[in-house]
Chains A and B, each alone.
Chain A
Amino acid sequence: EPEVTQTPSHQVTQMGQEVILRCVPISNHLYFYWYRQILGQKVEFLVSFYNNEISEKSEIFDDQFSVERPDGSNFTLKIRSTKLEDSAMYFCASGGRFYNEQFFGPGTRLTVL
C-alpha cells in the first residue's frame, strides 16, 4: 500500500541553524501539507501546497518557513533560522482528488538546542 515517507526521523540542531525536512508524498497525489505538533499540544496546520504554489498557510508559517517541491517527488519544509520554540514533531501529508482526505507520514522530530 502506498505511503508517505519522511526523513530524517529525528533531527537535532542548534538555534539559528537552517534545517530542511523532507517528505515523499504518495505518487499520484496532488495536494501536499505540513503540520506540526509541539509536545503536549494539538496537531496544527502549517501550510498546504498545490500546483507548485502555496494554497493556504497559517499564522505560524512566517518568513522563516518555506516549502518546495524541487523534483516532482520530494516535498520539503525549510526553516531558515531555527528557534527553540520550533522544537516539535513535523508531519507531512498528501491528499488525492476527493474529500480532502489526507494521508500522513510518520513525522520528523525536530529538537532545537
Chain B
Amino acid sequence: AQSVTQLDSHVSVSEGTPVLLRCNYSSSYSPSLFWYVQHPNKGLQLLLKYTSAATLVKGINGFEAEFKKSETSFHLTKPSAHMSDAAEYFCVVTERMIYNQGGKLIFGQGTELSVKP
C-alpha cells in the first residue's frame, strides 16, 4: 500500500526567506513522487517529479525536491519565497513505471503556504 504524509498543514514564511515543505511517503514498490501546486480557483499544476536515479529534482519557479530513500522523504524547497508562491502544495506518490499503465496518484493532505511581505 502507498501513502503520503505532509507534516505541516500550514507554513508561513516571509518574502525572500527559504521555503521548506515536508513530505514522507510509504510505498511497497519503487515510487514515483510528485509535487503539485494549486493556486486559489485554479487546477492542480505539476511542479516537479521524481521518476529516476537523479535524487535532486528541479522544478518550475525555482522549486527543488530531494528524494531520500533512507528517510522515505521528498521535501520541497525554494531558496527565496515570492508572494506569488502562496498556494496549496500537494505531495503525491504512485508506483514507478516507465510506461504509463494508468496507475492512480495518492495525494497527501496538502500544505498551505502563506508568504508575508
Contact = CB atoms under 8 A, between A and B. Distances in A.
A92 to B, nearest CB: 9
Contact of B102 (A95, A98, A107): A95
Interface of B: 32, 34, 36, 41-46, 49, 51, 90, 94-110
Interface of A: 4, 30-31, 33, 35, 42-45, 48-50, 55-56, 58, 91, 93, 95-107
B49 A99 contact: yes
B105 A45 contact: yes
Of B95, B104, B108, B110, which is in contact with the most chain A CB atoms at under 10 Å from its CB? B104
A106 B38 CA distance: 9
A99 B100 contact: yes
Instruction: Provide the main secondary structure of the chain B interface.
Output: loop
A4 B43 contact: yes
Of A35, A48, A95, A99, which is in contact with the most chain B CB atoms at under 10 Å from its CB? A99
Given A45-B104, A50-B102, A100 B43 contact: no
B92 to A, nearest CB: 8
Contacts of A45: 104-106
A43 B90 contact: yes
A12 to B, nearest CB: 17
Given A100-B94, A100-B100, A42 B43 contact: no
A100 B95 contact: yes
B14 to A, nearest CB: 27
Of A4, A33, A98, A100, which is in contact with the most chain B CB atoms at under 10 Å from its CB? A100
